Structure formats: C-alpha cells, structure tokens
Chain A
Amino acid sequence: MTTSTGRGLLHLAAAVDQPDTYDADPYLTLTRLAERGALDFVTLGDSFGRPGPDALAVLSRVAPATARIGLVPTVTTTHTEPFHVQAAVATLDWVSRGRAGWRPEVSATEEEARLFGRRAAAPAAELWGEAGEVADVATRLWDSWEDDAEIRDVATGRFIDREKLHHVDFQGATFSVRGPSIVPRPPQGHPVTVVDTAQQHAFDVAARHADVALVNAAGPAQAAAVRAGLRRRAAEYGRDPDALRVLAALRIDLGGGEHAAVPGHGGGGPLPSELGPLYRGGPVDLADLVAAWHRAGAVDGFHLTPVEPRRDLERLVNGTVPLLQHRGLFRTFYPGSTFREHLGLARPANQYAALAGDPS
C-alpha cells in the first residue's frame, strides 16, 4: 500500500496506443501482455483530431477477453455531452466488472471545433475548467443511484426505491444536467479518474478530481516536488492526499540492447524529449531506474509508453517486471479484482446516501 512517502509497492501502467490500428486484436494482444505482467492498468489515448478509433469502445471490446487489468481510455470533454460521457464510463465499469477508469482530456484546436461546428476553440484554461466540471458531474451522476436502489419488492410492485435515486441538478459554466443517470451506480462506485498533468491547467483538475495523476519529471527530485505539490493542493480541496496516486510518465525505448544508452542511467535518466521524458536502454537498467526513484520516495509508480508497442511491452513484461518483483517492489499476482483494489483505493462513499442519512 502506498504511504505518504511514496515507498509502498509500486504501481505500474502502460499505454497500448498503436498507429493505424482499427482492429481489436492488436489492442487485445498488448492488454493481455500487460495483464500477464500484473500491471495496474493500461491506457489508450484518443482525440477527434487524428486518425484512430474511439478509445473507450476499444477497451470495452477488450474487457470481456481480459480478467484483471484496469482499463483507462482517454475521454474528451470539450465537444461531448457530460451525460453521455459518464454513462459510457459507468458502462465500461459494468462490462469489465469493476476495472474501468477514464482519462479526461480537452480539445483545444480550431480544427477539432470545426468537426462539431457547435462552438469555437477556447483557451486551455477555460477547457480544463470545464473538464473539471465534467469530472465533478460524473461522480454526482455515478452517485445518483444509491447502491441498494434496486429493491424488486413484489409486495408493493416497486422495482426501485425512488428515494434512493437523486436528481443532481448540476449547473456548470457551459452545461447543466438534471439527472439521475440512466445507468445504476457502477461496481467501483466511481470508475478511476486519471489526469495527465503535462498541461499546466490540468494540474488543478488532478489535485481536485484525480485518483491517479500522471506527471512529467526529468528526475526523482523534480518528481517528488510535483508529487508534494499535488498532495498539498489536494488537501486544500479537502481531500485525503493518500487517496491520490502519482505516477511518473515515461516513454520507454527498450530496443537499445542490454545497456542504457546514457551511462549511469539508473537514477540519472531519463532524457528530455519533445513528447516527454524518454528512457532508452535495456529492461534491466529500466528496473534500476524505477527502483532508484522508488528508493527516493519520488512517486507511487510509473506510467510507461512504449515507443515500439509490441517489442517494448514484451521486454518490459519479460525483463523489467520480473526484476522488480524479485526485489519485492512489485506484485506477483493481483490480490483483488477491481482496479481500485489494485491501486489500494477504497470504494467511495455515495455523496447522496450520506446526505440522506443526515437528518439535518
């Protein structure tokens, strides 16, 4: 379990993005590979503005053919309907039996705006503000059904206890939602919210709404500082900072043989790159790097994006992961069945049930 020093068992995740891939099989292959490595979750990116299938659909397609691993599609919030978004994410949780997450993203370009023709492009600050509101209304809608709302009471003819269904009456800056959701509360209560803080305006949304925050950092000291900042801000929002997992985002290129391209890499890397920090080298030195950051208490784990998906993920799962397991830093099997359980996060209490229980 992760503690405030970031030195519990590691959490590991991998991206399964692949260019020009519209069939299910290649995604399934990578996700199964990651699951064989007992990784916490996989992510799949998405955008309306570049070629590729709908990420949430792909991971729904993958769900019945996998058993344990968490599934985190990117879901954009700028041109979509918050009500549809929350229903789809809740449904991913139903079809995966408690393994859904989502990574909210914004669509900032004029090109994306023209695909919808509904609103002009807006500044990132505004869009992330809206994304935060979408995350907020999503949790309200997931809570809009109490867990025991379905009663099937033959005597009174009532299928549900409607006292346990709630209008959310959310009024945001750009949308409103009356509720309740059409989907009953999902198995995890709230699917896991993952926020990538690479963009400045996402930092606040992560501190306020994320269960998992991804951070770009060039070294352990910087990562530790960002993590501390996120935890501090989360506490200011009234959250328990221990309910936030902070993972370092790292691109990995494991094609460079058994040794790190940069000497002293274990602890010294990674290399800065346009797309974020990049590790280039072998799986053994990657394990050293991960262990060193862990020793320094810098982060709760890593989100790894393979540069060459099939090759690098195989090397990660067959090379790096067993070494980390051998050192007692990473799990050897999934002790739980839901994604929240992998992360050591509790199932959230229902905000409306709490209200209903309070007579004041």
Chain B
Amino acid sequence: MTTTAGRRKPRGHRPLSKQIHLAAHFPGVNNTTVWTDPLSRSQIDFASFEHLARTAERGLFDFFFLAEGLRLREHKGRVHDLDVVGRPESLTVLNALAAVTERLGLAATVNATFNEPYETARRFATLDHLSGGRAAWNVVTSSDAFTGENFRRGGYLDRADRYTRAAEFVATARELWDSWTPGGQSRPFAHTGRHFDIEGEFTLPRSPQGHPVVIQAGDSPEGREFAASAADVIFTRHGTPEAGRAFYADVKGRLAKYGRTAGDLKIMPGVTVVLGDTAAEAQERAAGIRRRQVSPQNALLTLEQIWGVDLSSYDPDGPLPDIDPVVDSGLSQGRTKRGDPRAVAEQWRALSRAKGLSIRQTVIETTARQSFIGTPQAVAAELDEFVQSDAADGFILVPHLTPGGLDEFVDQVVPLLQERGAYRTEYTGTTLRSHLGLREPVRPAREEGLTV
C-alpha cells in the first residue's frame, strides 16, 4: 500500500478515485476550541449537538465523534480554568442524537481501563440497535492514577498492561456481540483470560451492523499493533502528507499478520480547515484563530506544563525563561506529555532567539496549527490529493467553533469534493459499516450450546 505518482488521476470525473471518508469531531474540552468567539455557543446544551450532527449529516459524513475525559484537568493542584470544560456523557448524547439523525454514524470514546466489558458491550450494542446500525466505539486506554481517583478500580494499570487489557476487552466484547444465535436466541458465553474471567448470557441479540465499528486512537507501537489487530478505523494526529504517508504505510503493513487487508482499516487523521475567499484571507483568518487559541494566559500555561514550575511572574509578551525545566514535577495533571521537557525547552529557546519571538509568539509558532488553509477549491484539492496519495483514507474534522464550525465546510467544500468524484453524493447504505465500506464481521462457527 505505498504511494506512487502513477496513482494521480487527471481532474474531472474519476470513477476510480479512492472515496474520501469524513467525520465530525464535536469541539469541546480542548484549547483549540475558541470560546471567546461571539459565535461560540454552549458545549453542553443538546441544541449544540443537534446542530453539528445535522450539519454533518447534511454533508453526508460517515460519523459524528465525541471525545472523553474522565477527570477535569488540573494545574498547580487546581482545576484548569482557561479552556472549555464540562461535557455530557457520550453514549447518552449519541442515543439522543439517534432520534434526530437518520444515517450519520455515532461514535463515542469509552476508556477500556475504567470500564468493564459486559457493561460496555451492552451499552454499545444498545446504541447500535436504537440507531439502526450506526454505532462506533473509540477505544482509548489510560493508566493515569489521577483519573483513577474517580473510580473503584483506581489507577493500578501500568503502561504495558493498558493495551493487553484493551485488546482483551475488545475481544471479549466481540464474543458477547456474537453470543446470540442468528435466529435471535440467547446463548451462554464464557471468557477466561488474563484480565477478565466472566460468564453468563448477554442481554441483546447481534446488532444491525454485526458489531459496532471499533476506532482506536493512540500512537505508540503497542497502540498501532492493537489497531492493526482489532480496529476498523484509526483516529490519528498525523496531519501532514509526509507523516501521514509514513504512518499509513506502517499501520497498513501490520495488517497481513492478522489476516486482514488494507481495506479493513481506515486511517483518519484529525485535521482542521480554515477557509477564505482568497488564500491571503484564509491565512489571515487562520492567524486570528491561532491568536485566540493561544491567549496570553494559555501561553504561560503551556510553558508551565513544559517547565514544570510556576511562571506566573513572566510576561507572555516577553522572552522565554532561561531556567531549566523541572522534570516530573507533577505540576500539571490529566494531559498528554510532549516528550522530554529539557529538549523541548532547548528547542523553543533556540527558535525564540533565532526569530526574536516572545513567549506567546513562540507557543503560537510551535503548537498545533490549522492543517488545511485556503480557498474552498484549494482545500478540496489538497484533501483529495492527501487521500489519493495514501496519506489517509479520510479525515476527522476538528472545528474550532461550537456548534457552527462545520457549516462553511459542508456548504463550500463538500460540493467540490463531489464534483471531483471523490465523495459520495448520497448515502448508499444505512449502517456506519456500509458508509465506511467495511465488511460485517464474520460470526465464528460455534456448536450450538457450546461456550467459547
């Protein structure tokens, strides 16, 4: 599955184009969500979820995606107060959205560490039934003792065990989803493994798409291996063509040993899009968004997360601190780390010196930026090229505004992708598996009455 220039097709109607898959990420707890925008609305009212989901369905998207966080982030021992915070529980919202949408896939992030297979399998099977086969489960892992303080189980899992538990968790869920007969009779199951030893009868028949779609997000070698063995979709952060192609080749190359083919796993990076009538206008809008994403307070906070010390006396418009970071200070809790802080600090200071950048400017320059910026025509062409060159199979769009952040994209870019022959003009199936072009999982042969 590597790319060659020969894959590029002429413009116009291209019936053999790889079809682009699109998903919508509901913006929320994230410093990329610009809550200071006058058009920013509630991140919790159902009306916001309904608006974004209906927009995604109008754009014929494959699915609507919700992230999860099980403890509010803290900084210096206090709840972090600069970003959007607070969100509803994902599966409950998605069941409600199933009432106001008809075809859109509905994806919830649910952690495999702080849940149990029986209950989780049941909740996803229920969503799949109630939505007519549109459910997806983004399986994430965490060994975070900080988050564990909200749960019976606590944070006992060490890093190496996260994915062994997640893999056994998903495998067990699949056993439960397969446990009824094709005729709709409940049959006993039994699973004994390293993490789970359970038996009984599942409470729901096999769901309308066989199994809910399984998504994986996580980038370590263990995470990639888990995805290759068990996931239908990967949510990745590799949003540049080079990184995308490397990731794509790596992950798709791991499939064969699990008896799977390239089409069985869709790779979808999370990306952002900023549109303008001209390239210059789009760049200007993108820069404005970046400035609002990195407020002076947020710039200092980002620095404190790296330095591991209180920097509140520093001027965000002044130079970077010349002191060295304190490693593992525990100053910030509930966020993913950015690598070795001393190396990061060194790089940032070098960049700041070379370009004469302030703290805030340095943070703007170094932290995540918009992936696709330009006119609708330019963005449509770039997205298409990205997919045709096997840097991805599609995209999870992460808007910076709740809930109107996808309106422009759906109105202006989707029709251009359709014109290019790279995107559907109507839903052809009813289930999420059919949107994604995934096969229904095969039910393992099993003797009547025997347990696995």
Write the residues of chain A forming the contact surface with B, with a CB cutoff of 8 angstroms: 22-24, 48-54, 56-58, 60-65, 79-84, 87-88, 90-92, 94-97, 111-112, 114-118, 145, 150, 152, 154, 156-162, 165, 174-180, 182-184
Among the listed A48, A57, A112, A154, which residue makes an inter-chain contact with B36, where contact means beta carbons less than 8 Å apart? A154
B100–A79 contact, CB under 8 A? Answer: no
B427 neighbours in A (Cβ, 8 Å): none
A145 neighbours in B (Cβ, 8 Å): 86
A–B pairs, 8, beta carbons within 8 Å: A24-B99, A49-B200, A53-B204, A60-B93, A64-B99, A117-B196, A159-B82, A183-B88
User: With A24-B99, A48-B122, A97-B46 as given contacts, are A116 and B92 in contact (CB-CB < 8 Å)?
Assistant: no
The distance in angstroms between the C-alpha atoms of A62 and B50, with both chains bound, is: 15
Which residue on A lies nearest to B122, using beta carbons? A54
Which residue on A lies nearest to B88, using beta carbons? A91
The distance in angstroms between the C-alpha atoms of A90 and B80, with both chains bound, is: 22
The distance in angstroms between the C-alpha atoms of A81 and B118, with both chains bound, is: 13
A177 neighbours in B (Cβ, 8 Å): 149-151
- Interface residue B242 (Cβ < 8 Å from any Cβ of A): no
A23–B130 contact, CB under 8 A? Answer: yes
In the complex, besides A23-B129, A179-B150, 4 extra interface pairs with C-beta distance below 8 angstroms are A60-B96, A64-B96, A94-B44, A157-B297
Write the residues of chain B forming the contact surface with A, with a CB cutoff of 8 angstroms: 35-36, 44-46, 50, 69-72, 78-89, 91-93, 95-96, 98-100, 114-116, 118-119, 122-123, 125-127, 129-130, 149-153, 186, 196-201, 203-205, 295-298
B36 neighbours in A (Cβ, 8 Å): 152, 154
Which residue on A lies nearest to B80, using beta carbons? A162
The distance in angstroms between the C-alpha atoms of A183 and B96, with both chains bound, is: 16
The distance in angstroms between the C-alpha atoms of A160 and B81, with both chains bound, is: 5
Q: Secondary structure at chain B's binding surface: helix, strand, loop or mixed? A: loop
User: With A94-B46, A95-B96 as given contacts, are A57 and B89 in contact (CB-CB < 8 Å)?
Assistant: no
A157 neighbours in B (Cβ, 8 Å): 82, 295-298
Among the listed B118, B130, B201, B296, which residue makes an inter-chain contact with A58, where contact means beta carbons less than 8 Å apart? B130
A158–B81 contact, CB under 8 A? Answer: yes
B130–A61 contact, CB under 8 A? Answer: yes
A182–B99 contact, CB under 8 A? Answer: no
A87 neighbours in B (Cβ, 8 Å): 88-89
Which residue on A lies nearest to B50, using beta carbons? A64
For the complex formed, measure the closest distance between the CB of B38 and the CB atoms of chain A, giving whole angstroms. Answer: 10
- CB < 8 Å A-B pair total: 177
B114–A54 contact, CB under 8 A? Answer: no
The distance in angstroms between the C-alpha atoms of A62 and B100, with both chains bound, is: 10
A111 neighbours in B (Cβ, 8 Å): 200
The distance in angstroms between the C-alpha atoms of A95 and B36, with both chains bound, is: 25
B205 neighbours in A (Cβ, 8 Å): 22
The distance in angstroms between the C-alpha atoms of A43 and B148, with both chains bound, is: 32
The distance in angstroms between the C-alpha atoms of A73 and B46, with both chains bound, is: 19
B95 neighbours in A (Cβ, 8 Å): 57-58, 60-61
Which residue on A lies nearest to B87, using beta carbons? A182
User: With A63-B99, A180-B79 as given contacts, are A56 and B198 in contact (CB-CB < 8 Å)?
Assistant: no
The distance in angstroms between the C-alpha atoms of A56 and B95, with both chains bound, is: 9
B44–A180 contact, CB under 8 A? Answer: no
Could you say which of B50, B100, B116 has the most chain A C-beta atoms within 10 Å of its C-beta? B116
B295 neighbours in A (Cβ, 8 Å): 157
User: With A63-B99, A158-B82, A162-B78 as given contacts, are A80 and B92 in contact (CB-CB < 8 Å)?
Assistant: no
A53–B197 contact, CB under 8 A? Answer: no
A176 neighbours in B (Cβ, 8 Å): 149
The distance in angstroms between the C-alpha atoms of A205 and B114, with both chains bound, is: 27
B92–A50 contact, CB under 8 A? Answer: no
The distance in angstroms between the C-alpha atoms of A53 and B303, with both chains bound, is: 47
B91–A64 contact, CB under 8 A? Answer: no
Which residue on A lies nearest to B154, using beta carbons? A176
User: With A60-B92, A79-B119, A165-B79 as given contacts, are A24 and B98 in contact (CB-CB < 8 Å)?
Assistant: yes
B125 neighbours in A (Cβ, 8 Å): 53
User: With A22-B204, A176-B149, A182-B71 as given contacts, are A116 and B126 in contact (CB-CB < 8 Å)?
Assistant: no
A116–B89 contact, CB under 8 A? Answer: no
A115–B198 contact, CB under 8 A? Answer: yes
User: With A60-B92, A116-B116 as given contacts, are A94 and B45 in contact (CB-CB < 8 Å)?
Assistant: yes
B96 neighbours in A (Cβ, 8 Å): 60-61, 63-64, 95-96
A114 neighbours in B (Cβ, 8 Å): 198-200
The distance in angstroms between the C-alpha atoms of A108 and B95, with both chains bound, is: 28
B46–A95 contact, CB under 8 A? Answer: yes
A23 neighbours in B (Cβ, 8 Å): 129-130
For the complex formed, measure the closest distance between the CB of A157 and the CB atoms of chain B, giving whole angstroms. Answer: 4
A161–B149 contact, CB under 8 A? Answer: no
A156–B297 contact, CB under 8 A? Answer: yes
B99–A159 contact, CB under 8 A? Answer: no
User: With A58-B126, A116-B118, A178-B150 as given contacts, are A91 and B85 in contact (CB-CB < 8 Å)?
Assistant: no
B50–A53 contact, CB under 8 A? Answer: no
The distance in angstroms between the C-alpha atoms of A162 and B75, with both chains bound, is: 11
B44–A116 contact, CB under 8 A? Answer: no
A52 neighbours in B (Cβ, 8 Å): 203-204
Could you say which of B78, B92, B125, B197 has the most chain A C-beta atoms within 10 Å of its C-beta? B92
For the complex formed, measure the closest distance between the CB of B132 and the CB atoms of chain A, giving whole angstroms. Answer: 8
For the complex formed, measure the closest distance between the CB of B9 and the CB atoms of chain A, giving whole angstroms. Answer: 43
Which residue on B lies nearest to A183, using beta carbons? B88
Among the listed A50, A53, A58, A95, which residue makes an inter-chain contact with B93, where contact means beta carbons less than 8 Å apart? A95
Could you say which of A82, A94, A96 has the most chain B C-beta atoms within 10 Å of its C-beta? A94
The distance in angstroms between the C-alpha atoms of A87 and B111, with both chains bound, is: 14
A183–B196 contact, CB under 8 A? Answer: no
A88–B203 contact, CB under 8 A? Answer: no
Closest 9 CB pairs of A and B: A157-B297, A60-B95, A95-B96, A91-B92, A91-B88, A178-B149, A87-B89, A91-B89, A117-B198
B99–A62 contact, CB under 8 A? Answer: yes
